[in-house]
Amino acid sequence: MVQQTVVTVVCDLPHEDEVEGAETLAFAFDGGSYEIDTCKEHAKDLREVFGTYTEHGRRLTASRAPRRHRTPEGRDRSGDIRAWAKDQGIPVSDRGRIPAGVVAQYEASR
How many CB atoms lie under 10 A from the CB of residue 90?
Answer: 16
Q: What is the pLDDT of residue 28?
A: 87
Taking a C-beta distance cutoff of 8 angstroms, is the pair 28, 59 a contact? Answer: no
Per-residue pLDDT of 94-103, as tens digits, reads 888 899 999 9
Q: How confident is the model at residue 45 (pLDDT cuts 50, 70, 90)?
A: very high
Q: Is the pLDDT of residue 68 over 80?
A: no
Rounded distance between C-alpha atoms, residue 100 and residue 110, angstroms: 16
Rounded distance between C-alpha atoms, residue 21 and residue 13, angstroms: 10
Per the prediction, the chain carries an average pLDDT of 85
Taking a C-beta distance cutoff of 8 angstroms, is the pair 20, 10 a contact? Answer: yes
Q: Taking residues 41-54, what's their average pLDDT?
A: 90
Count the residues in the chain.
Answer: 110
The structural domains of the chain, ordered by start, are 1-66 (3.30.60.230), 72-109 (4.10.320)
Q: What is the pLDDT of residue 12?
A: 85
Q: Taking residues 15-31, what's their average pLDDT?
A: 84
Q: Is 82 helix (H, G, I), strand (E, B) or coil?
A: helix
